[in-house]
Amino acid sequence: MKKVVIGMSGGVDSSVAAYLLQKEGYEVIGLFMRNWDSSINNDHLGNPDLNNPICPQEQDYNDALEVCNKLNIKLYRVDFVKEYWDFVFQYFLEELKKGRTPNPDIMCNKYIKFDLFVKEALKLGADYIATGHYARIKGNRLCRAVDLNKDQTYFLAQLSPDQLKNVLFPLGSITKPEVRKIADELNLITASKKDSTGICFIGERNYQKFIGNYLKPNPGEIVNIKTTEVIGEHTGLMNYTIGQRRNVGLSGNVEKHFVVGKNVANNTLYVAFGDDNPYLYSDACIIENVNFISPTRPTFCTAKFRYRGPDIEVILEYLENNEILVKYPSTVKAVTPGQACVLYLGEQCLGSGIIKNIYKNDKKLNYL
């Protein structure tokens, strides 16, 4: 009997994935990863939540343990707090300092879940590892999940081909409603548990106050990009992202507005007004730290510039220093430095790069 070590997160997806592996005849072992120091999980004022003394991470572990007990699966626990801090959280902070908008989940998959986790799984005698991601492996290709609304290949696109060897994604061929139905029929504690959203280590806490614990707030001017008029004061460029239209900090009854750029050198936040603002659109970007899962190097393919974004037809020009110029003549809204540009050929995920610079009509935008 082949042995599978599955990452148990305490959510419904990994719970059902573990059951499906059992059903297929594997010997299943659960492994829970502790990636963040529980003592940091306090409220937005920095105080413990006295109404809920068990932090969300510990509750997740308790839920994972109950599921494993119900399925008669042994559950182990491993601590990656230091490694997560070094490889994911520090990356997150350094990107914010550059005025970019990082995606820590992508780096967590690259350095924690499909690297350190795999090494721990091998110590447990794993023939395969598995997770509750919605994705499929077909031969040596990473492919989108059947449930396109839940497909998570976007977050896996910085993995190497070696990292995807001997990996199982049991949920890749079923839909989220089916997962919920299976969990409900099994009477699992996670059956109706809410999916986690946002940045995992921040959770439900106030973003700006959380970040302020690690990066010193540096207020500066908010400028109307069209008139160059100073119209307000921001709380620090790390608190804003391109396309943001809420909590920008403009007081009074002002018309609809968006963040359209940052200048880190002079600590300026640029804002534009109007419903469908042309300042938000670009037609090309350069991506760096390019990672290909597939040996295919196409000139034409599609790209996603954010997880929930549409597939955009693009033209690729391969540059030096592992960079690619990505052209999208149809123009795209709010392409953001620091986010991933993930490349696809049909259902296949080819790989990704991190967005470095944005252009429109051959002019660099976003003022980073």
CB 342 within 8 A of CB 142: no
How big is the chain, counted in residues? 368
C-alpha distances in Å from residue 84, one per residue of 22, 172, 204, 356: 30, 26, 20, 24
Spot the catalytic one: 55, 68, 143, 200: 200
- Taking the CB of residue 44, how many other CB atoms lie within 10 A of it? 14
349: CB partners within 8 A, 6+ apart: 135, 141, 142, 143, 144, 153, 154, 156, 157, 293, 294, 342, 343
DSSP 38-52: GGG---TTS---TT-
Coil, strand or helix at 311 = coil
- Does 285 qualify as catalytic in the annotation? no
- Does 200 qualify as catalytic in the annotation? yes
Spot the catalytic one: 55, 68, 108, 143: 108
C-alpha distances in Å from residue 123, one per residue of 12, 127, 279: 26, 11, 52
CB 210 within 8 A of CB 184: no
Coil, strand or helix at 265 = coil
C-alpha distances in Å from residue 268, one per residue of 231, 260, 271, 367: 11, 11, 10, 9
In terms of C-beta distances under 8 Å and separation of at least 24 residues, what long-range contacts does 310-319 make, across chains too?
A: 311/344, 314/343, 316/343, 319/286
Residues tagged active-site: 108, 200
